[in-house]
Structure 1
Amino acid sequence: MKHNTKKWQASLLCITLCGILTACGSGKESQAEDMKNSETIQINETDMGAQQENGTEEETGGMEENRLIGEQTFEVTLEPLGKVTFASYRPDTQQNPLGDALFEIQEAGGKTTALEGIADNNIRANEIFNKVEAVSFPDYNGDGFSDIIIICNYSPSSGPDVGTGYSEARIYRGNEDGLFTLERELSEVTNSALAEKTVQSVLGFLGAGKQGEAQASDWKQAYIDHLQKQDPEEWQGYQLIYLNDDEIPELVEIGTSEAAGCVIVTYADGMLEETRLGRLNFTYIERSGLLCNSDGNMDRYYDLVYRMENGRLTQIAAGYYGAEDNSRVEFDADGNPVYQYQWNDVQMSQEEYEQKLNAVYDTSKARQGYEWDGWLSREEAAGTVESME
């Protein structure tokens, strides 16, 4: 009996311990679950607070503040306005994907003036605004009042050039009233002339600070004006060479066919002179003033030597060689055609002809007039001219 009582007490003790352990485990799980729920609530509250804060900022900040281009917004001193804020804004593409950038001058008294845009209603025809590349406030015309140069980057919105970017400069002229007028024609000419648009290249094209260097700017402008008038269907490219020893290059126009030939454009006494060469091939001796037009076809060939004097090309010698009847050309033992040679209207042998040619034009020093497919486009040629010192 005593043995059974002890057994019963032991069983009761085990049951009691199990109950206590179960209660403890349940409490820990409940506490962990409560902590988990509490953490989740805290995270959600933080997110909601951030969202509410951002929403308030958008509502109070306004669309223009969000569109402000900070890196192209400046506090500057403009003559005659004094200290102002020049502000650049991205276009509102939600209103129109072809919208253009907006530029404002904000004065201390609260007066705000928007600069005139390039396009009507500030909506481009087929271009998407990418970015403002540069803004500058020079006095490019030397009248004592600040001017503004802005360079933006755009991409075509449709057509074969979609995805490519190009730069565009716009020029504003300031006056004594602190107003800025968009120089449309000058901006168009500048963009056409310059292959690379930077503030420096635009200022160089405008001749800023070079009023005393009229002679240098005259020949540049003459070449640029000439290039702008050329028919792209007639000329496949251009090159700049130095025939004589001055710092003004000569312009080579390369025709689209042998019949069109090449034209050498020179500058002298404030005027351009043009010399048309036969066909497309010529060589020259750099800074010697000498050029040789060597070409021909169908067994009739020539070497025409020119000398540049006072900015003008003059023919000084002429040689011709070939077959009198190209349907009956004779050949020597080595298979070379037998030609007749004539230098300055005098018949002679091939050896004598070559001696006469080299006496006036050292062919060992000659260089090709241009590299095939290495020529410049019209815009590249104008830009190269403008960038020259």
Structure 2
Amino acid sequence: MQKKRLILAVLLALPLSIAGCGNSEERATAAETANIIPPAGETAETGETAATAPYAAAPDITVPGVPGTIIPDQTFEADLDGWGSVTFASLAPETASPASDGMYPDVRFCLVKDGNVLYEFPGWNEEYTSPDQFLAVSAVAFRDYNEDGLQDVITLCEYESTPDSDYRMARVFFQLQDRQGFEEDRSLTEYLLKNHLTDSIASILGAKEDYRDYSASLNGQSETQEQLKIIAENKDMWIGNPEYADDLYQYAVTDLDRNGRYEVIVSNMGGTGMYTYNRFFEVNENCDGLTECSTDFVEGDSQPDLMTGSMGGPDALPNTMSTLDTYVNDQGMFCYAVYDMVKNGAAEYYENIRSLTLQDGMIRTAPIASRTTIYDGETPTVTCSDADGNPISEEEYESAADRYFAGWEKRETRLGWQSVKDLGNTVDEITAQLEQSLNVYQDKNPFDPTPLSVLMWIE
């Protein structure tokens, strides 16, 4: 437990000057003046804005059945939505000593009316204990934090993780819509603590918009994991068995049409002619399975060398990245210039450039240009032509895609290829491998994840 406290201190402890804390006497004085809910809109000595509703310090009360000592300056008469006129009671632990397991008793909060406890707010755990020592309640506020029409409760408390390291922790208890009660958003608690937004109620309120964006990103990560799991669960559908040589047999996760539903591309290359074959599978609209995309590929013909991208040819290695030249028009349509090269023996090489798009579950291609290289002696004969068969120079061949997509914005798309032969055995293993591929596509470092949780003692 001491180790957990030290971890928390290293990650999260704020200097006392930042948190507005001082020595124990100063903390006691601060606790007496930190009430940010003075009567009827007045401003507290801390300079924080008072609540708009008329909250006033409560008279002496008792809280039957709940251990702890009333904190008078953080106990209020309040008129809460759905509860009527109640007393919000803050109760300090009766002892500051840890139990045999190293855990300290924690602060408790209750709603009281006519001598009866109507509701006790949830603690970190069922035992209402903490690995860090509770010091004081710095502030309490009643605000509609999530703007659902119901007042929520914000508490700001001080804790000591080591003798020289104090910090403030903010907790927002949201009123439930379907029944009487409150629920804490642990993710919000972590976000405020990790970003040092716990010095005042104003800081907590000011973080609402940024937290919404952060929460939306977490939801996006959850949706991504769900889609990758769907692909993993349907691996037998897409790994298949290549019908032709598989000197190189790989997969990559993409979103070529940018519709928010991921695809897995399975590509194999091999044989003396270095033929390539591709299959595309997309998460379906219901997000409960995979659908194979149809293509306009001609059976028997070599298909784009997606594993080598703009390089073309057979020069690809397992578990590497390829780059596709990408073009975007004013309507947000994404097209790709894809390359293919096949050979006939050691003397004949045939290359072509095509456009490729994915729309409505269909892969469509169109010819852009081609190049043929024939070795007859030491000097090769090179001929190039456009899509209509008209002769062009090698220089024009190299720039054919840019001219074909003239007026479109040019970008790059990175594909992270991994060998099908190295695919894991379980859904979790495969999901993790798919995520590594997706991270390359999203231009992220798959080996540098950002931890989502910094409160290592909250379990």
Q: TM-score, normalised by structure 1?
A: 0.41
Q: If each structure's strand is expressed as a fraction of its own residues, which one has the higher value?
A: 2
Q: Which has the higher contact order (CA 8 A, sep 6+)?
A: 2
Q: If each structure's helix is expressed as a fraction of its own residues, which one has the higher value?
A: 1
Q: TM-score, normalised by structure 2?
A: 0.36
Flag the structure with larger Rg.
1
